Amino acid sequence: MLIRNFNSNSAIDVVEEFKVMGMCNIINTSQSDITISFNAPLINGSSQSTTTSSSSTEVVPAGKSTLITYDSSTTPISVRRVEPDLDDFSASAINRGTLANSRTTATSSNTADAIISRDAEGDYSAGQANLTSVNVSYSGGPSATRPITISSSNTQGGTGFTEFIQLTSTVSGTSNPNKYLRMNNVGSLEIINSAYSATLLQLTNDGDLSATGKILAGSTSGNSFAPVKSILTSTNAQAFSMDNLNLRFNNGTFEVSPVSGSFGAMAEMAKLQYGKAPEHDTLSPTTINAGVWYSLSNGLTTVGNQASGVIHDYNNNLTYRVTCIVRAVSPNWNAFLIIEKLS
């Protein structure tokens, strides 16, 4: 009996040609399937205990063997590596001619629109894939590996930077359609703006979070961030608002009014004036109406005077801390106004 062992993983098509008269055990120890081409009648062939009738070819899966009886005294047997069909990858590894892929989803049922590359050893890899959807379902124990691992280096950010996701809106006319996720060269996670010119958000390995813009919270319940707005007023009686709350500094008086409609309000204010003891002003519970201004604190007639306190909208269960700091007095009154939403 002739025994032939094939373990080539090269990219060449023909692994070997040989002649045999009688029985031959062909063992495939490579990581790819091989196909045996017969140019004469096959007397008997089997692979994985499956008997194959006389035919022109027989496939021997990776790691399996087949026993054939064949007369090739005049015409050789050709043993070729089985090449995958790039339209139907259904295996589970990107290696040795196999690639998990999908046309519409990352499953094994279809083929994705992908750029496939093949190296000198015959390995296939996906350099880029355009998928309409990706569904990852993973179940593993506490010590199992992650369902998705992305590895890269020295990408668009420069040496040591690792970009791993680009998000792009394809909606026509979208402003700032791009966002980029990356790890910088000291291991901080970053979100980059559409023009790839500024870091919008950064989370360091120590847990420090920084943002170039405002951090706003829609709700203050159980939240460490309170929505805050402030303004340096440039004119007397310039209105400044948050939600339905309107504030202004008008000729030395700190005032409040609804933006629209009305609500029940009450306030307690502390007033600080240079050279005087602290004073206390109160807005007793009352319904306040848009277009009418109500005094929170008056007598703020010296630069540096300030009033600060809490106003409660008891109809809508909203509470705000409000502050007024005088910056200039007559004839060009203006102040620094601050609103903080507490609940």
Q: Which of 100-114, 129-143, 158-172, 199-213 has the lowest mean pLDDT?
A: 100-114
Distance CA 284, CA 123 (A): 80
Domains 2-81 and 228-341 share a fold: no
DSSP annotation of 84: P
Distance CA 107, CA 117 (A): 20
Q: Say if residue 250's pLDDT is above 80.
A: yes
What was the pLDDT predicted at 222?
64
What was the pLDDT predicted at 217?
66
Q: Say if residue 177's pLDDT is above 90.
A: yes
What was the pLDDT predicted at 42?
46
Residue 295: closest CA among 326, 250, 239: 250
Cis before 84 (ω within 30): no
- Which residue is associated with the tokens 């790839």? 196
Distance CA 67, CA 215 (A): 71
Q: Which amino acid is at 100?
A: A
Angle at 321 between CA 328 and CA 214, to 5 degrees: 85
Neighbouring-strand partners of residue 71: 21
Q: 262 with 289: CB under 8 angstroms?
A: yes
Give percent of the chain with pLDDT exceeding 70: 61
More confident residue, 183 or 25: 183
**Overall average pLDDT of the 206-224 stretch:** 76
**Overall average pLDDT of the 12-37 stretch:** 63
**Overall average pLDDT of the 124-142 stretch:** 64
* Fold observed for domain 2-81: Jelly Rolls (2.60.120)
Look over the chain and give the mean of its residue pLDDT values, rounded to a whole number: 75
- Which residue is associated with the tokens 């400044």? 240
More confident residue, 13 or 32: 32
Residue 195: closest CA among 171, 177, 181, 183: 177
- Cβ neighbours for 74, distance < 8 A, ≥ 6 positions apart: 40
Q: Say if residue 223's pLDDT is above 70.
A: no
**Overall average pLDDT of the 313-323 stretch:** 94
Q: Say if residue 306's pLDDT is above 70.
A: yes
What was the pLDDT predicted at 191?
95
Give percent of the chain with pLDDT exceeding 90: 41
What pLDDT band is residue 335 in, cutting at 50, 70 and 90? very high
Query: Which CATH architecture does the domain made up of 228-341 adopt?
Result: Sandwich (2.60)
Q: Which amino acid is at 183?
A: M
Q: Which of 9-18, 69-78, 255-264, 269-278 has the lowest mean pLDDT?
A: 9-18
Q: Which of 59-63, 92-96, 128-132, 169-173 has the lowest mean pLDDT?
A: 92-96
Domain boundaries, the chain: 2-81, 88-131, 162-211, 228-341
What pLDDT band is residue 7 in, cutting at 50, 70 and 90? low
- How many whole angstroms from its chain centre is CA 220? 26
**Overall average pLDDT of the 199-212 stretch:** 92
- Specify the length of the chain in residues: 343
Q: Which amino acid is at 275?
A: G
Residue 328: closest CA among 231, 236, 229: 236
Query: Whole-prediction pTM value?
Result: 0.46
What was the pLDDT predicted at 144?
67
Q: What are phi and psi of 185, to 5 degrees?
A: -75, 0
More confident residue, 66 or 179: 179
Residue 265: closest CA among 195, 309, 313: 313
What was the pLDDT predicted at 84?
47
Distance CA 103, CA 117 (A): 17
More confident residue, 193 or 69: 193
Q: Which of 5-14, 57-66, 149-158, 315-324 has the lowest mean pLDDT?
A: 5-14
What was the pLDDT predicted at 73?
58
Radius of gyration for the alpha carbons in the chain, expressed in angstroms and rounded: 38
Q: Say if residue 196's pLDDT is above 80.
A: yes
Q: Which of 44-58, 116-130, 276-290 has the lowest mean pLDDT?
A: 44-58
DSSP annotation of 10: S
